[in-house]
């Protein structure tokens, strides 16, 4: 039951006289706007301005509680690596203030779930530890043959489609889904449902992908929250059955690890288990689909880069993958909350204030990347910040890289020519997003 003493989100303490800089005043509304994330040039311009004029900007955007926008690569790392000082528990991602209030009113706490990204140590460490082994490089490497077989099936599917397809919807969306569902032990017949539920969560701000379709500005906040709860209820129902099954019939899959997981000798709670399945299922494919498709799109838009890739797919795939993940930055932000006052960039972040880690900005930081607005399949070194950093650094990053490397090798060693066949479209999302459609024409 909600504790009424906790029934509103914490007030953000404001320093007397703190105001947004001119750069921040003009751009803070942009960097929270889902539609801006579907328009890369506008997004780039906003972050260029912040990095140059106010790299640690105090933002008070309409509809959101205030935060510091952290736009420099070095600062994102500095905050991310100090997990005791900058925690996840209070506010791990941007949410409309009205939605935050709705969640507090109903649950007396900030979240509907308890996933790894919403937890801090020691619980975060203990829960992460349960599945970490599965996602270590040596174990991921062992899945290479299986992943390659799936990649080949999808390149076959592309060939069967006869010379034209929507690369995002026909290929990129389904390939990482199949890989992560096999790891979870979810049968292929349930993949369409898993895809729909995931898109309803990550695409909640997009009129085509949200559960109750329609433009965000036309939707009621209460209704938006209710539809997210319905989506979560469907996930819960599905994974409750999986838990029962894996307790009775353990198998060699991640669901068995979660269903039978213990912390300090006690079985993990129902909410923790459900949240775990959901984060692995959801984070495990939409992100990878976005960067797989977005990388192909970048090559199609730059024939010289496409040629380099097609001339030497095996040699180029490894660097092309990281460049695709830099270029697309499918996870647009995470947030942290300062537990003590902290000085950065000559400014004073106060305990209780939150910070928005702007990964797309870090990945275009002129101080780190040479020619950052150029997609180069052979970029090396490539200090991408797309997977975050520190204790929460992406659990699935080795898997994501392997999957993408394999599909790029398989696709570009078989396809004879490939080009755009219309304008691509992009998902409106300020949290996880990428291409919505990539029409292509090709010959095998």
- The 80-109 contact track toward ligand HEM, x by CB under 6 A, reads x-----------------------------
Residue list 158-187, contact with ligand HEM (CB under 6 A): 180
Strand partners for 439: 166
**Six token digits for residue 216:** 């965000």
* Rounded CA separation 204/356 (Å): 20
Is there binding between residue 43 and ligand HEM (CB under 6 A)?
no
Q: In angstroms, how far apart are the furthest CA atoms of the chain?
A: 65
- The 305-334 contact track toward ligand HEM, x by CB under 6 A, reads --------------------x----xx--x
* Rounded CA separation 390/85 (Å): 12
Q: How far is CA 26 from the centre of its chain?
A: 26
Q: Are 330 and 434 in contact (CB under 8 A)?
A: yes
DSSP, res 331:
B
- Which residue among 71, 255, 386, 430 contacts ligand HEM (CB under 6 A)? 386
Q: Are 434 and 178 in contact (CB under 8 A)?
A: no
**Six token digits for residue 244:** 């029962």
Nearest approach, Cβ of 2 to ligand HEM (angstroms)?
26
Is there binding between residue 393 and ligand HEM (CB under 6 A)?
yes
Binding region for ligand HEM (CB under 6 A) out of 32-40, 93-101, 136-144, 392-400: 392-400
Q: 24 or 279, CB closer to ligand HEM? A: 279
Q: 355: buried, middle or exposed (CB in 10 Å: 19+, 13-18, 0-12)?
A: buried
Residue list 423-442, contact with ligand HEM (CB under 6 A): none
Is there binding between residue 23 and ligand HEM (CB under 6 A)?
no
Is there binding between residue 37 and ligand HEM (CB under 6 A)?
no
Nearest approach, Cβ of 175 to ligand HEM (angstroms)?
12
Nearest approach, Cβ of 236 to ligand HEM (angstroms)?
18
Q: How far is CA 160 from the centre of its chain?
A: 31
Contacts of 126 (CB under 8 A, 6+ apart): 263, 264
Nearest approach, Cβ of 342 to ligand HEM (angstroms)?
17
In the complex, the residues that contact ligand HEM under the rule CB under 6 A are: 80, 116-117, 128, 135, 180, 279-280, 283-284, 287-288, 291, 325, 330-331, 334, 386-390, 392-396, 399-400
């Amino acid at each position: 039951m909600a504790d009424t003493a906790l029934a509103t989100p914490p007030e953000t303490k404001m320093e007397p006289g703190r105001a947004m800089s001119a750069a921040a005043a003009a751009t803070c509304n942009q960097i929270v706007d889902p539609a801006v994330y579907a328009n890369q040039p506008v997004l780039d311009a906003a972050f260029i301005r912040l990095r140059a004029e106010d790299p640690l900007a105090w933002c008070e955007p309409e509809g959101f509680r205030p935060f510091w926008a952290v736009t420099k690569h070095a600062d994102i790392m500095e905050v991310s690596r100090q997990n005791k000082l900058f925690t996840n528990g209070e506010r791990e991602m941007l949410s409309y203030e009205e939605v935050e209030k709705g969640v507090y009113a109903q649950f007396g706490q900030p979240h509907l779930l308890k996933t790894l990204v919403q937890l801090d140590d020691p619980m975060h460490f203990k829960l992460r530890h349960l599945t970490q082994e599965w996602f270590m490089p040596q174990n991921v490497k062992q899945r290479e043959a299986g992943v390659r077989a799936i990649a080949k099936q999808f390149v076959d599917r592309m060939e069967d489609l006869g010379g034209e397809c929507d690369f995002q919807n026909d290929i990129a969306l389904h390939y990482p889904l199949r890989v992560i569902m096999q790891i979870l032990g979810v049968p292929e017949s349930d993949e369409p449902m898993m895809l729909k539920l995931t898109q309803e969560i990550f695409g909640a701000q997009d009129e085509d992908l949200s559960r109750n379709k329609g433009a965000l500005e036309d939707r009621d906040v209460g209704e938006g929250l209710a539809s997210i709860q319905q989506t979560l209820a469907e996930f819960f129902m599905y994974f409750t059955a999986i838990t029962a099954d894996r307790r009775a019939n353990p198998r060699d899959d991640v669901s068995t690890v979660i269903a039978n997981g213990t912390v300090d000798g006690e079985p993990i709670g129902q909410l923790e288990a459900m949240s775990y399945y959901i984060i692995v299922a959801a984070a495990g494919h939409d992100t990878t689909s976005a960067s797989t498709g977005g990388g192909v799109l970048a090559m199609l838009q730059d024939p010289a880069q496409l040629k380099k890739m097609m001339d030497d797919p095996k040699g180029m795939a490894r660097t092309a993958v990281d460049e695709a993940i830099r270029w697309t930055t499918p996870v647009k932000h995470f947030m942290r909350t300062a537990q003590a006052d902290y000085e950065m960039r000559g400014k004073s972040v106060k305990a209780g204030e939150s910070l928005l880690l702007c990964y797309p900005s870090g990945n275009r930081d002129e101080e780190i990347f040479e020619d950052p607005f150029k997609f180069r399949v052979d970029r090396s070194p490539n200090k991408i910040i797309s997977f975050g950093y520190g204790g929460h650094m992406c659990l699935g990053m080795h898997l994501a890289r392997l999957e993408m490397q394999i599909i790029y090798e398989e696709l570009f060693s078989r396809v004879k020519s490939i080009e755009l066949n219309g304008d691509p479209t992009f998902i409106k999302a300020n949290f996880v997003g990428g291409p919505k459609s990539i029409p292509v024409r090709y010959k095998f």
